[in-house]
A = this chain, B = another copy of it.
Amino acid sequence: MRSIRPGQELMAYGAPVSGPLIILSGWAVRSRILADGRRQIMSFILPGDLIGNCRQRCPLSVSSIVALGSLTLCPGPIAIPALDQVYAVSHALDEAYLLAQITRLGRLSAEERLIDLMLELYERLSLSGLTADDGFTWPLTQSALADALGLTPVHVNRTLQHLRGRGDVTLRSGHLQLTDPYQLAKRVGHITARVTGSSELS
């Protein structure tokens, strides 16, 4: 098990991938920085998630991975046939979340993007039992949210206030509370990721 400090880079863009890691606690982001400093967050990595899950020889990282807060992680087991399915499902879910992110950025309004992302995080954390009473720990700054949603921090702030004003969410001191997740999902047309026919998840 390893401990990581806030802001530390777990994996650098273009660097060789050493091996699979499992996040035990804390959040991280997969991101890319453009030449002029613009940053795009591709996806969020939550407790229980697997990273560095590559099958090709000499894999290179296609994104950098940065710890949002303090993080603990441990090496993932390799070459255990019984875990093939777990790795495969994990990989498929990762892909599904990337597709959801593309749809958010390409076709949703700022308000829809925020709600849709909150619902995705809520569902993913629920699978690990990290939610309680439709709420969960929220370590994201508005600036990080902006980089994930393709917006500016200023506009994220205004959109958040709009959501608070409508009573859709309660967000303060690192905790997000969804007033009515089902109703929100219906409003923005949010769909839950599903990658296998049977109901075996994660």
Q: Which residues of A contact B (CB under 8 A)?
A: 14, 16, 30, 32, 34-36, 38-40, 42, 54-60, 62-63, 84-85, 87-89, 91-92, 94-96, 98-99, 101-103, 105-107, 147-150, 189, 193-198, 200
The 8 closest A-B pairs by CB, nearest first: A58-B197, A106-B150, A105-B105, A55-B88, A56-B88, A35-B189, A40-B106, A62-B96
Pick from B38, B56, B107: contact of A196, CB below 8 A.
Answer: B56
A84 with B105, Cβ < 8 A, contacts A36-B189, A62-B195 known: no
- A119 CB to closest chain B CB, in angstroms? 15
Q: Give the docked Cα–Cα distance between A83 and B149 (Å).
A: 37
Point out the residues of chain B lying under 8 angstroms from A194, CB to CB: 14, 60, 62
A103 with B34, Cβ < 8 A, contacts A55-B91, A56-B88, A88-B54 known: yes
Point out the residues of chain B lying under 8 angstroms from A88, CB to CB: 54-57
A58 with B198, Cβ < 8 A, contacts A99-B63, A105-B150 known: yes
Residue of A35, A57, A99, A200 contacting most chain B CB atoms (<10 Å)? A99
> What is the count of identical protomers in the complex?
2
- Contact between chains at A40 and B198 (CB < 8 Å): no
- Contact between chains at A149 and B56 (CB < 8 Å): no
A56 with B89, Cβ < 8 A, contacts A16-B197, A62-B195 known: yes
A55 with B39, Cβ < 8 A, contacts A34-B107, A98-B95 known: no
- Contact between chains at B99 and A32 (CB < 8 Å): yes
Point out the residues of chain B lying under 8 angstroms from A89, CB to CB: 56
